[in-house]
Amino acid sequence: MNNGARMGSKALMLTGIILAIFGVLLLASPMAAGEFVIMAVAGVLLITGVAQVIQSFRSPGSADRIVSAILGAIIAGLGVLVWRNPDVGSGFLMSLLMIFFVVNGLWKVSTAWRFRRASGWIWLMLSGLVSLVFVYLLWSQWPVAGAWVIGVFIGIDLLLTGLSMIVLAFTARRIRSSGYVETINL
């Protein structure tokens, strides 16, 4: 096995371990994790909005300056609204989470299908299907489910993604050490 192949499978393994650990930590305290994510989104919105207002003063045209300042104020206002009322942020974040899980789930399923000849592909397929089930569960509970749902679903997704990456790293290592396939590039 060449050094590049060894480094690729090690990086995949390390990333998988880190994601699995984060997943377990989120599952240990899903309410706190969900509230943290909501507050982090509120902070990012607030900072982004303020930065856009400040940047608007540098715009050359007065129309650009006004539009940029108004949009920045709206974004900053959303950040303050989410910070002061996390339930609003929870509903908003759950809708974004549904979009993320659809895209993420479809990507995992299609990637697993392409690698179905490799052992361990089923774990990536399972992770993708679970992401799609999350979309259904979020949709059926939206917007009444709270921050704990965000923490639980993200925790489970990270755990399954991490475990599938660990299995794929072992598979890549085994395939490369056999010398059978040299074209896999991780």
The whole-model pTM stands at: 0.58
pLDDT in tens, the chain (186 residues): 455 545 567 888 899 999 999 889 888 888 787 788 788 888 988 998 899 888 888 777 777 788 888 888 988 998 898 888 877 777 777 777 788 889 988 998 998 888 888 777 888 888 889 889 888 887 887 666 666 777 787 888 889 889 988 988 888 777 777 665 555 454
The C-alpha atoms of residue 15 and residue 4 are separated, in whole angstroms, by 16
The C-alpha atoms of residue 162 and residue 150 are separated, in whole angstroms, by 18
Structure tokens at 179: 């010398």
Q: Single out the residue of 57, 47, 51 nearest to residue 80, CA to CA.
A: 47
Distances (CA, A) of 181 to 60, 118, 157, 185: 57, 11, 30, 10
Q: Where are the domains of the chain?
A: 3-178
